[in-house]
Amino acid sequence: MAQAQINNTDLPPKERRYFGTDGIRGRVGVWPINPEFVLKLGWAVGKVLARQGNGKVLIGKDTRISGYMFESVLESGLSAAGIDTHLLGPMPTPAIAYLTRTLRAQAGIVISASHNPYYDNGIKFFSAQGTKLPDAIELAIEEQLEQPMTTVDSAELGKAIRVVDAPGRYIEFCKSTVSSDIILNGMKIVVDCAHGASYHIAPNVFRELGAIVMEMGVEPNGLNINLDCGATHPEKLRQHVLAKKADLGIALDGDGDRVVMIDHQGHILDGDELLYIILKHKMANGHFNGGVVGTVMSNFGFESAIRGMGVEFVRVPVGDRHIMSELTKRQWHLGGEPSGHIVCLATATTGDGIITALQVLAAMRHQNKSLADMRNGLMKFPQILINVSVNQPDFSIEKPRILKAVKEAEKALGNTGRVLLRRSGTEPLIRVMVEGENESRVKELAEQLADVVRDELGS
C-alpha cells in the first residue's frame, strides 16, 4: 500500500527551548553554541545535579577544534555549581555512556555534533545508567538556565581531573561484547574512523581480536572530522577495500555511534542490512525474543524481510531517543536506523558503531560466511533521499502546494511505495524521501518533490 507522510516529530518538543532530539546542537559561535551559553549550561546542569546528590560528572568530546573551548567552559560552569568533573578527552559517544555507568558518575556529557561538519558542535548528556537524560531532568535544566548564574563558596568549588586510562577501559569492554571464541585471525579489514573520536580506539579493538587492520581517517586535525570520509561518505573506503582486496570495510562517523560496512565486492551495507544480519544470527542461535524497532526511514524491503521471519516490526520517528523509548516500553532489545545507528540493548545502553560491527563479525565467524553472503535474503526497495537546505526556522512543510505534490507522488507510486517529508532534528534540512519498486521512477518523483520544496522556500 502506498504511503505518504509529512513528519515533524523529530523536531524538539515545543515546550523545550534548548534541547532537541539529541541534546543541543548548532553552528559554533552562533547562540546557543557559544562559550557564554555553554558556560551557563554547565552551571545549570551542575545546580540540577547537586539537588540529586553530589557525584562527579564525566566530560568527553570528539575531535573537532571547538571541543577544547567547550570542554573548558563546561568544566568552569560545573565547578561554579560545586560539581567535580573527570575529563576523558576524545572518546566515542557510546564510550562516554559506558564509562558514566562503570565509573559510577552522576552524569556524562558529550561535546560532539556527531556526523555534522567541524563548524558545528553540540552538547548531549547521559544519565548515571548510561542512557539519555530523563525528560524531567532536561526540563529542570532549562528552568535553571533562566535563573541568574551564581558561584558556590570557594571551599565548595568543584575540582577537575583527567582520566588517563579511558581508551583502554573502553577497548576491553568492546572486546567483551563478543564471545571469547571470536578470533579474527586472517581477516583483512579497512577501518575508517572519520578523523573522529574513534581514531585511537576502533583500529585497536579489531587488531587485538586478531584482524589485519588497515587504517583510514585516523589523523584528526580539528577541521577534517567527517570530511569526505566515515559513515556518511564511505566511497573512499569502498575504493580501498577493493584496491587492497580486503575482506570488508568498517566506516564509523565522527563520534562513533554510527557504522556502515563494505563487503569484499564493494557493496555498501547500511544500518538496515546490518540490523538484518544481527537479527538473523540471533534467531538462528535462539538468542532473540521480542521484536525490532525501526524508523520512518527504514526500507520497506527490510520491514518485509523482518515480518517474513515472523518478527514484529514497529516504526518510530527518526532519532535514537525514539528508538530507545520504544524498546524500553516494549522490553525489546534490538532497533536501528538506515544511517547505521543501531541499538543492541543486550550489550550496550546506546547506539555503538564498534559494537555493532563486532556483532556482524561474530555472525560471520560463527557461520563461516562472507559479509556479502550474510545479507542474502534481504531485497531492499530503491530509496532516494534528497536533502533540501532550509534557512527559515518557521518554514512549514505542510503548505498546500507541497501537500498536493506529495499526494501526486503517492498516486504515481501505485500500490507499493512510500513518500516521506520531514525536518531534520540535527541539521537545517528538509529531507525528501521516496521509495518504490522502480528506481528511475522513484528518483524522478523525489527530484520533482524536492524542486517543489525549493520553490516554496524561494531558493
Residues forming the active site? 114
Q: Are 213 and 206 in contact (CB under 8 A)?
A: yes
Amino acid occupying residue 56: K
- The answer to whether the bond into 32 is cis (omega within 30° of 0) is yes
d(CA 214, CA 240): 9
The number of beta carbons lying within 10 Å of the beta carbon of residue 440 is: 8
- The residue assigned the cell 554547565 is 42
d(CA 375, CA 276): 7
Task: Return the DSSP state at 134.
Answer: P
Select from 380, 382, 379, 396 the least CA-distant residue to 444. 382
- The residue assigned the cell 577534517 is 224
Report CA-CA distances (Å) from 22 to 93, 320, 452, 453: 12, 8, 29, 25
Q: Are 18 and 142 in contact (CB under 8 A)?
A: yes
Residue 208 sits at the vertex; the CA angle it makes with 207 and 214, to the nearest 5 degrees, is: 5
In 62-184, where do the E strands start and end? 85-90, 107-111, 120-127, 160-162
Helices (H), 216-292: 235-243, 271-284
Q: In the structure grid, which three cell numbers stand for residue 373, read together?
A: 553472503
The number of beta carbons lying within 10 Å of the beta carbon of residue 317 is: 20
